[in-house]
């Protein structure tokens, strides 16, 4: 299915072509989530119980659109991490989030439960941060699981491997061609780790790319849904960083117009679109804390 806009474009923030491209990219990502290449079985595998890792704030609009174009997505299996680079000690905070979540879930079921993350892609650095946080969290959990035993490096590697089989990470990158084009021409400026992890010939591929003309929601204040808390000292400025706690959630009329336009072009009743996320605050508080066993 490809999106075709059969309604008048009422929003001056995006063109008809940009909106169709944006929606089609996320539709393609949604289809890829149904059947994914199993790293253990080396074949396509149908997925029926993934978790959706939503890194705040850039991934939240993408996830909202994903749930509109694919009505089968279970929003109750979404988990929200304060993964913005604006957060103080953002790399550590993102690792804490993965650690706490996986520590909580590892004994709930023996079934494979993939972690699906949909994210913006320009240079690949933000996606690499997600992969690094996940890998570090896996290794720390493996080390903790072996606590009280004679922990050898080989044992930690084996337990880490088992955890990755139980909770494999897949990133569905919505690639902004308008911003990405210069990097394609000059590939030495691109993130090398990203190139490796998105290479279709890599049997351990983590990143799947879906190019769009423009990520409509990217770097536009009217489409920023979250304000994080920050220090109240007089010398504070945005570059000083924010806390991993939500100050406010906001849905501008521009954002709601966008979601309603997307609903119309994929044949969904706009009145059913509800971007409210009651668990965002609690997840940020719950998962961003330093793990208790550290």
pLDDT value for 275: 79
pLDDT value for 148: 77
CA-closest candidate to residue 20, choices 265, 222, 223, 189: 265
pLDDT value for 37: 66
CA-closest candidate to residue 207, choices 174, 165, 170: 170
- Any idea where the domains of the chain sit in the sequence? 16-30+47-287
Please report where in the chains the tokens 């997840």 appear, as a residue. Answer: 283
pLDDT value for 5: 52
Please report where in the chains the tokens 């890998």 appear, as a residue. Answer: 135
Say how far apart CA 71 and CA 73 lie, in whole Å: 6
Say how far apart CA 280 and CA 271 lie, in whole Å: 22
Say how far apart CA 215 and CA 58 lie, in whole Å: 10
pLDDT value for 45: 75
pLDDT value for 149: 79
Token pair for 171: 């990133």
pTM to 2 decimals?
A: 0.90
The rounded average pLDDT for each run of 10 residues, N- to C-terminus, in the chain (294 residues) is 54 85 96 77 75 92 96 93 90 95 92 93 85 96 87 86 95 86 56 84 89 92 90 78 90 92 94 84 93 80
């Amino acid at each position: 299915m490809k999106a075709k806009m059969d309604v008048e474009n009422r929003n001056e923030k995006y063109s008809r072509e940009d909106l169709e491209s944006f929606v089609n990219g996320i539709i393609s990502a949604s289809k890829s989530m149904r059947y994914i290449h199993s790293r253990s079985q080396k074949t396509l595998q149908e997925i029926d119980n993934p978790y959706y890792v939503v890194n705040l704030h850039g991934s939240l609009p993408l996830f909202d659109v994903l749930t509109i174009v694919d009505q089968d997505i279970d929003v109750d299996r979404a988990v929200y991490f304060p993964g913005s680079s604006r957060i103080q000690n953002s790399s550590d905070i993102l690792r804490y989030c993965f650690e706490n979540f996986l520590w909580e879930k590892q004994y709930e079921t023996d079934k494979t439960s993939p972690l699906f993350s949909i994210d913006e892609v320009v240079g690949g650095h933000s996606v690499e941060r997600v992969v690094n946080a996940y890998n570090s969290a896996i290794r720390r959990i493996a080390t903790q699981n072996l606590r009280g035993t004679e922990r050898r490096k080989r044992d930690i590697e084996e337990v880490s491997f088992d955890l990755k089989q139980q909770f494999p990470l897949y990133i569905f990158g919505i690639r902004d061609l308008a911003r990405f084009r210069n990097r394609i021409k000059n590939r030495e400026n691109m993130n090398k780790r990203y190139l490796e992890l998105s290479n279709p010939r890599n049997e351990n591929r983590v990143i799947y790319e879906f190019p769009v003309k423009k990520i409509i929601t990217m770097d536009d204040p009217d489409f920023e849904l979250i304000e994080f808390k920050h220090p109240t000292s007089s010398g504070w400025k945005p570059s000083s960083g924010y806390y991993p706690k939500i100050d406010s959630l906001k849905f501008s009329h521009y954002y709601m117009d966008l979601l309603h336009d997307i609903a119309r072009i994929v044949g969904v009743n706009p009145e059913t679109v509800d971007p409210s996320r009651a668990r965002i605050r609690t997840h940020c508080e719950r998962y961003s804390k330093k793990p208790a066993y550290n």
